[in-house]
Every structure is written in C-alpha cells, then in structure tokens.
Amino acid sequence: MNSKNALLSAHAIVDVPFQDCDPMQVVWHGNYARYLEEARRELLRKIDYDYLQMHDSGFAWPIIDMRLKYVGSAVFSQEIRIDAYLKEYESRLKIDYVISDVKTGKKLTKAYTIQVAVCINSKEMQFESPAIFLEKLKPWLD
C-alpha cells in the first residue's frame, strides 16, 4: 500500500500516549483504528468535506470494511506517521494507510478502510458517490 494510483494523500503525526498501550508499553491493537481516523480526517479536510460537511450535505459515510496488517509494534512515546491515500471514490471511498516510525521510516502497519455513502433521511446506501463529494474532488480530477 502506497501512493501508487492514489488520487491524493494526507498524513497525521501521533505521539503514542500512555493510555493507548498495554502493560508492556506496546500499542493495544484496537487503538490503530483511531490512528487511521486521524489521517482520514486530514484527508477529508484537504478536500473540504469533513464529517460535519458530510452530515450537512445529507450523507453519512460509515465504514463497512477495515483491514489491518501489523508489521511491527508501535510503543509508548514513539512518534508515528499515518499516511492516508485515496484509492477509490466513484462508488465507495477506499483509503489505504501506512503507519511508520517518524525517525526511522520503518513501516509498522498497513491498512485500508472502505466507506459508502448512506442518505441520512432514507437510510439507503448510495451505489454511486454523491455529486457533492465528486464536486469536492474536482480539483484533483482535472
């Protein structure tokens, strides 16, 4: 998973906090979903379509699939970088992620999430991404 064939990318930096770790100072596996969220929020901000704007446009974008592959372990007080790459957008939102150590560049985790648009009023899943989302992507499509 990398930037190859990505429409755009963004990243977030996290200094691993104590509360995210198990007694051995290794990040508990469930906390990686929150790290992905940090980079995903940066990606959405980059296209000016964050979660409040999604809601205001009448759509929710639930995650319907998430996969993580733990290559190495993040530990307490380690500075990690989470890169998010937008890979698909026409009928669903697929984002690939790479989590790495800021100092060494060593890959720690690879992941992806898939989200679909759901109309808030009707609760119906959309089989194509809403026009408002595609409009936000226009600067990167040209």
3-class SS of residue 84: strand
Query: CATH number of the domain that 21 lies in?
Result: 3.10.129.10
Let me know if residue 3 belongs to a domain: no
Q: What is the pLDDT of residue 5?
A: 85
**Span 52-109, pLDDT tens digits:** 999 999 999 999 999 999 999 999 999 999 999 999 999 999 999 999 999 999 999 9
Q: Residue 104 belongs to what domain range?
A: 8-141
How many domains, the chain?
1
Measured from the Cβ of residue 12, the count of other Cβ atoms closer than 10 Å reads 19
